[in-house]
A and B are shown apart, each in its own frame.
Chain A
Amino acid sequence: MAIDWFTIGAQILNFLVLIYLLKRFLYRPVLDAIAAREKRIAGTLAEAAAMKAEALKEREALHARNDAFDRDRTTLFAKATEAADGERKRVIEAARVAADALGEKQRQALARDARSMGDDIGRSARTEVFAIARKALADMADESLEARMTAIFIARLAALDASAKRAASGMLDTANGPAVIRSAFALPAPQQVAIRQALDAAFATKVAITFETAPELVGGIELVGGGEKLAWSLSDYLKTLEKAVTDVLSAKPPETIAATT
């Protein structure tokens, strides 16, 4: 078997051409595709790593923000709680003050009402009592009582002291007309004469008088002249008593009433 040198040379050339062709159509495209894929995968991995790092950074920042937020929230919550507590105390104090003021007002109003009611009741009772008393005395009054009162009037005139006599004399002097003797019942002539004599004797002069009947006196006799009067009548007694009762009730302290309500 002889060696064919032409075939050897041709095969060498063929092999070199095949190397070129496979390098051109196989090795380089395949290796380039693999390199491009690896580069893309590496890029993707690097991008993923960068995104992961960024995500970790964001997470750390988020955690930090959350921590700061929690701290701020705690602080704000404490401040808000403290402010709310203070506000609550303030509102409660204000409400208490307002309630106290209102209670005080109510107590005062109640006291006023009680006082007013007490006054009204007292006034009514007083009026009724004195009306009843006046009616009772009026019912009981008659000529005999009138005669007795005339006697007492005369006795009083006689018992006037000097200053009282001067005052009464001045009253009679300033009168434009005759003095008036007013009585609840018409005085009989003897009693009128006795009264004239008693006046003359008391003032040591002739006193001009007239007689009038005044049922509102209930009982008793008045000497009226010059805008003044000298009286002794049950009506005056009752008025004096009523005034004294009114003064006593008015002088009663409010605390006593408030304490009783």
Chain B
Amino acid sequence: MRLSPDELVYWQWGFVHLNATILCTWALMAALTLGSALAMRRLSSSEDRSPWQNLLEILVTGIKDQIGSIGLDHPARYLPFLGTLFLFVAASSLSSIIPMFEPPTGSLSTTIALALCVFVAVPVYGIRSRGLGGYLKSYIEPTVIMLPFNLISEASRTLALAVRLFGNMMSGAMIVAILISITPLLFPIVMTALGLLTGMVQAYIFSILAAVYIAAAIRAPSTPGKTAPTPAEPLAT
């Protein structure tokens, strides 16, 4: 039994290889990009707009509102990163119902990659918001003794992000595969539906945790609620 789509390699040239994870990721990227481009093809700023535009507006504004509810000022600034995290993980989870399609999030490489992106994004946003000194100072607060614990926390939460998502997605796919081999069709369908729900929950958890980490990084502990001056253009990331 194949535990990860990484093991399904289509092409290899030395270190470089093309496996199912990468190919499915490209397929998802193409689907998301083309779907967005098609829906936004006849973009209207009036009240008369297409249902697809309405759907995407609801999706984007919903993500934006969720980011704002976490406590991040100017949520549009974090929308590309956190929104893409959610959409990618959610689309990947939904794609599990497509036959012969391997959800990229079922690969530990993908989840580690996403976790590493969050791991890098947190200090980037923190430094942009508080400056390098201010951000690094947060590791020795409230006292220097907390430095190793904070560093361990950073690493462990990144690992937890990766493993949590991978475990949930992989376990769902594994359970369905095992059930298909030992039980009739009805029970795997129920488990697939449950897997879809679990995948959506995981996408929400992953993106919300990333938002929480970023919010914790950009906010000075001594002055809660007070943030550094922000640029006027929210999307200038």
| Per-residue B-contact encoding for A150-164, CB less than 8 Å = 1, 0 else | 000000000000000
Contact of A30 among B3, B21, B60, B109 (CB under 8 A): B60
Given contacts A26-B40, A40-B45, contact A6 B15 (CB under 8 A): yes
- Cβ of B80: which chain A residues have Cβ within 8 Å of it? 19, 22-23, 27
- Cβ of B33: which chain A residues have Cβ within 8 Å of it? 18, 21-22, 25
- Cβ of A14: which chain B residues have Cβ within 8 Å of it? 22, 25-26, 29, 113
What distance in Å separates the Cβ of A2 from its nearest Cβ neighbour in chain B?
A: 9
Given contacts A1-B4, A14-B22, A18-B88, contact A25 B45 (CB under 8 A): no
B116 adjacent to A8 (CB under 8 Å)? yes
What distance in Å separates the Cβ of A48 from its nearest Cβ neighbour in chain B?
A: 16
Q: What CA separation (Å) do A26 and B43 show in the bound complex?
A: 11
Return 14 A-B CB contacts under 8 Å, by A number.
A4-B6, A4-B19, A8-B109, A8-B113, A10-B113, A11-B21, A18-B33, A18-B84, A23-B80, A27-B235, A31-B64, A31-B79, A31-B235, A33-B43
Contact of A7 among B6, B36, B47, B76 (CB under 8 A): B6
| Per-residue A-contact encoding for B80-116, CB less than 8 Å = 1, 0 else | 1101100110000000000000001001111011101
Q: Which of A8, A14, A21, A31 has the most CB of B within 10 A?
A: A8
- Cβ of A10: which chain B residues have Cβ within 8 Å of it? 22, 25, 113
Contact of B57 among A1, A7, A30 (CB under 8 A): A30
- Cβ of B45: which chain A residues have Cβ within 8 Å of it? 32-33, 36-37, 40
What distance in Å separates the Cβ of B172 from its nearest Cβ neighbour in chain A?
A: 17
By a beta-carbon cutoff of 8 Å, the part of chain B in contact with chain A is: 3-4, 6, 15-17, 19, 21-22, 25-26, 29, 32-33, 36-37, 40, 43-47, 49, 53, 56-57, 60-61, 64, 76, 79-81, 83-84, 87-88, 104, 107-110, 112-114, 116-117, 235, 237
What distance in Å separates the Cβ of B174 from its nearest Cβ neighbour in chain A?
A: 12
Asked if A3 is at the interface (CB within 8 A of a chain B CB), the reply is yes
A30 adjacent to B29 (CB under 8 Å)? no
Q: What CA separation (Å) do A17 and B26 show in the bound complex?
A: 10
Nearest residue in A to B33 (C-beta to C-beta)?
Answer: A21
- Cβ of B88: which chain A residues have Cβ within 8 Å of it? 15, 18
Q: What CA separation (Å) do A28 and B4 show in the bound complex?
A: 35
B37 adjacent to A18 (CB under 8 Å)? no
What distance in Å separates the Cβ of B163 from its nearest Cβ neighbour in chain A?
A: 12
B84 adjacent to A11 (CB under 8 Å)? no
Asked if A12 is at the interface (CB within 8 A of a chain B CB), the reply is yes
B84 adjacent to A15 (CB under 8 Å)? yes
* Number of residues on chain A facing chain B (CB within 8 A): 32
B32 adjacent to A11 (CB under 8 Å)? no
Contact of B108 among A1, A22, A37 (CB under 8 A): A1
A30 adjacent to B40 (CB under 8 Å)? yes
Given contacts A30-B57, A33-B43, contact A7 B84 (CB under 8 A): no
Contact of A4 among B44, B56, B109, B235 (CB under 8 A): B109
Q: What CA separation (Å) do A30 and B37 show in the bound complex?
A: 11
- Cβ of A194: which chain B residues have Cβ within 8 Å of it? none
Q: What CA separation (Å) do A37 and B110 show in the bound complex?
A: 38
Interface set, chain A 20-51, CB cutoff 8 A to B: 21-23, 25-34, 36-37, 40
Nearest residue in B to A29 (C-beta to C-beta)?
Answer: B40
What distance in Å separates the Cβ of A135 from its nearest Cβ neighbour in chain B?
A: 129
Closest 7 CB pairs of A and B: A11-B113, A7-B109, A36-B45, A26-B36, A25-B36, A23-B80, A29-B40
- Cβ of B21: which chain A residues have Cβ within 8 Å of it? 7, 11
- Cβ of A1: which chain B residues have Cβ within 8 Å of it? 3-4, 108
Q: What CA separation (Å) do A158 and B53 show in the bound complex?
A: 162
Given contacts A25-B36, A27-B79, contact A11 B60 (CB under 8 A): no
- Cβ of A28: which chain B residues have Cβ within 8 Å of it? 235
Q: What CA separation (Å) do A23 and B77 show in the bound complex?
A: 11
- Cβ of B79: which chain A residues have Cβ within 8 Å of it? 27, 31
Q: What CA separation (Å) do A33 and B44 show in the bound complex?
A: 7
B36 adjacent to A22 (CB under 8 Å)? yes
